[in-house]
Structure 1
Amino acid sequence: MTLTTFSTKAERLRQLEDTAREFAERTEEHDQNGTFPTENIDALKSIGYPALTVPSVYGGIDAGLLELVESQELIARYDGSTSLAIGWHVGITKNLNETRPWEESLYSRVMSDIVENGAVLNNIATEAATGSPTRGGTPGTVAEYSNSEWVLNGRKTFATMSPVLDYYIVTAHIPKEEATAYFVVPKEAAGISIVDTWDSIAMRATGSHDVVLENVRVSKNHLAQYIVPGNKPAAGWLLHIPACYLGIAQTAADEAARFAASYSPNSINGTISELPNVREKLGRIELKLLQSRHFLHSVASKWDESDAEARQQMKGELGAVKTSIVNEAVEVVDLAMRVAGARSLSASNPLQRHYRDIRAGLHNPPMDDMVIDQLAGRLLGYQPPSV
């Protein structure tokens, strides 16, 4: 059954968990080999997950932000890389649903492809010379208009899910206009190539390779929208990122709890779960998870309940959620490894994978320094002038 056949969020989450549970059986293999879990994406397509945030008018589920983050956390409990990869797709389609910046003919065609065929997309924006797009650099990728078509040339890095993308949403500079825009590039377009460059020790199975565009031609209306680099509106959809790392942290916590409840060295009676120092670590883990989940869910719910104007006042809260949850998740995994001791560093122990994966969140947007500076400005804005 597909998710569109269910009328409640609870039913959809149960179906999603039944599907995602099998991902855990393949996680270690893909992590060790650095391979992309295409079978996981295919499984998500089989239940219609790519249509989670597509508008209902096109046959999608039209899920709110709270359901999105709950779903992403759930997937991450079984495979963090799969969660982060598909999270970009459902997050971007959520943003497009809310803002509708594309021309209707292009938008409806892409959304219908998602619903009918399980097509997946991602923004391809990062470049070696510009770094994170959130910093506002002008893309080195160039778009030129010629013979009623756009011709794109450039190279993108960190193109997550590149092995299976159906649409590349490419940022490119238009020299003649001194402007930057998103271009929708179908995978069938001639001149696209994927260079196998992803050698990270964290999130090894996200397929975040380089994508090269050599004289890639797209029709005129595939210029989807003009953008101002660095000038970002409030983006609730980016909460898919902390949701992913919260899911990984929960899995690490569960692993630590299982170990503590089963490990019984002959120096004590019972298991180490009865030792005060172990219980103190487990209690701190649970406290961090409770705080993080409530923070994430409350801000997601506030986004769902707010109008467009109110949402633009939530930049500080959205950034705070990501920074807080990811840093708390890093601490949760550290505490989990302290509970398990030296065994957590064994290559066969999943905690060492969680340790590597969780740190990737520190480098996903928005960046900590930008969030903290924004929060400082928010606080100063409410303070009276110093005397």
Structure 2
Amino acid sequence: MPLAISKVSPPAPFEEPIEDFDAPAAAEALAGRLAASAVERDRAGGHAAHEREWIRDSGLLALSVPREYGGIGADWSTVYQAVRIVARADSALAHLLGFHHLQLAGLTLYGNARQQRRLYAETIAARHFWGNALNPLDKRLIATPSAGGWVLNGVKSFASGSVGADRLTVSAWDPLAGAPLIGVLPARQAGIEVQADWDAFGQRQTDSGNVHFKDVLLPEEDVLRAPGKPASAQATLRSQVAQLVLVNLYLGLAEGALNAARGYLREGARPWIASGVAAAVDAPFIQHRFGQFHLLVRPAQVLADEAGRKLDAAWRRGAGLDAAGRGEVAVAVAEAKVLAHRAALDIGSQLFELTGARSTGAQYGFDRFWRNARVHTLHDPVDYKLRDLGRYALDGSLPEPTPYS
């Protein structure tokens, strides 16, 4: 059944002076609030309507909006730092934050000046929360040309952030052109039904249900990219923005798992009887394994930060970005993606070998780190990142632009 979303009064605009906004501090404060209920909400799943308002209130939704439209105008490195901080406490809500900014990136990459001015200004004025109905692998949403735009009919799956969103970025297949279009729609308009039916065993509060469209008019003025329009090197940066959201989600999960294990070992764990020590943290095997965990996380952090800086440099080049510059960003992102993927899965699984049987109790919820990482790392196969890196290492071939590379 479609989710019934009650109408609410538009939220007050974000009013803190741009110059005074401290993004890492805002992210830390938000993470602290989310951490208090993260275990319980992860277990329950569903739509975290109340906690989404905390994200809205934090000011972090304005991070990537350019200053000329009333936003904070942060670079991507700052956006990703905020996503990573929040993901340590709650990777599902961090996903919503990151994907909000991914949708906004589409305005810069695909939209014209008039669309950017209108939609960015509306986002700031009403503190809009953006969601995604753009899954490129799902071609069931059909666009039919009509007077003044296109009529949309069909469904989109894996629509992260769609439940409770104010605006949706939408891709739909135009059979006549044999290509997709990309547009923007209000999430609550007639003909759009959002189903809160996401039931994976991880990332349970990412609001990633199915979105159904019935005779929905997408006006020409809200089409960001028409069907068949060739993508510039600049436009293909969207996949790199998306991939680095995932990289920093995985890193946040790895860091969160490490922090949880460290806290438990300091405060609640008992040393093994053969260790010869009074405190678990003094056991040499635990120290050895924590050293290994450190060497999983640290290189991934370094490569993720480097990839963020390369993306920022490419982003600043705008329309002047060429295929080679875009390809170098894709290589850096793939390197970070592989290591962050490994760190999140390995630490999320292996921490129990250090914390012991008692740490599997439901009250701790330590299993969520692995579950959330496992579900999300399946969204595009990491083996294809390794293939791209292998080609690059062998003959210098840069990754071909796709929605995932």
Residue 23 of structure 2 contacts residue 78 of structure 2 at CA under 8 Å; is this kept in 1?
no
In structure 2, C-alpha distance between the alignment counterparts of 1:170 and 1:340, rounded to whole Å: 44
- Match of residue 133, structure 2, among 104, 124, 129: 124
**Residues 1:341 and 2:381 are matched in the alignment:** no
Q: Deviations over 1:131-176 (max 9, x none)?
A: xx3xxx5712111122334210011111111211112211111122
> 1:296 maps to what in 2?
304
- Match of residue 364, structure 1, among 363, 371, 379: 379
Structure 1 residue 252 displacement after superposition: 0.9
In structure 1, C-alpha distance between the alignment counterparts of 2:229 and 2:341, rounded to whole Å: 25
**Residues 1:264 and 2:270 are matched in the alignment:** yes
In structure 2, C-alpha distance between the alignment counterparts of 1:151 and 1:140, rounded to whole Å: 14
Q: Which letter maps to 1:293?
A: Q
Aligned pair in 2 of structure 1 residues 157, 257: CA closer, same or farther (>3 Å)? same
The residue matched to 2:356 in structure 1 has which SS? helix
**Residues 1:111 and 2:120 are matched in the alignment:** yes
The TM-score, its normalising length taken from structure 2, stands at: 0.84
Long gaps (5+) in structure 2? 1-12, 398-405
The residue matched to 1:109 in structure 2 has which SS? helix
Residue 303 of structure 2 contacts residue 332 of structure 2 at CA under 8 Å; is this kept in 1?
no
Q: Which letter maps to 1:380?
A: L
In structure 1, C-alpha distance between the alignment counterparts of 2:292 and 2:141, rounded to whole Å: 47
* Pairing of 1:1-387 with structure 2 (within 5 A): 5-7=17-19, 11-97=22-108, 99=109, 101-126=110-135, 133=136, 137=137, 139-226=139-226, 233-234=236-237, 235-238=239-242, 239-262=244-267, 263-265=269-271, 267=273, 268-306=276-314, 307=317, 308-309=321-322, 310-365=325-380, 367-382=381-396
Structure 1 residue 38 displacement after superposition: 1.8
Aligned pair in 2 of structure 1 residues 117, 42: CA closer, same or farther (>3 Å)? same
Residue 63 of structure 2 contacts residue 73 of structure 2 at CA under 8 Å; is this kept in 1?
yes
The TM-score, its normalising length taken from structure 1, stands at: 0.88
The residue matched to 1:207 in structure 2 has which SS? coil
Residue 285 of structure 1 contacts residue 335 of structure 1 at CA under 8 Å; is this kept in 2?
no
Structure 1 residue 190 displacement after superposition: 1.1
The residue matched to 1:139 in structure 2 has which SS? coil
Structure 1 residue 182 displacement after superposition: 0.7
Structure 1 residue 4 displacement after superposition: 5.2
In structure 2, C-alpha distance between the alignment counterparts of 1:303 and 1:120, rounded to whole Å: 24
In structure 2, C-alpha distance between the alignment counterparts of 1:316 and 1:229, rounded to whole Å: 25
Q: Which letter maps to 2:28?
A: E
> 1:129 maps to what in 2?
none
Aligned pair in 2 of structure 1 residues 198, 305: CA closer, same or farther (>3 Å)? same
In structure 2, C-alpha distance between the alignment counterparts of 1:369 and 1:222, rounded to whole Å: 37
Long gaps (5+) in structure 1? 127-132
What RMSD in Å do the two structures reach over aligned CA positions? 2.5
In structure 1, C-alpha distance between the alignment counterparts of 2:347 and 2:149, rounded to whole Å: 51
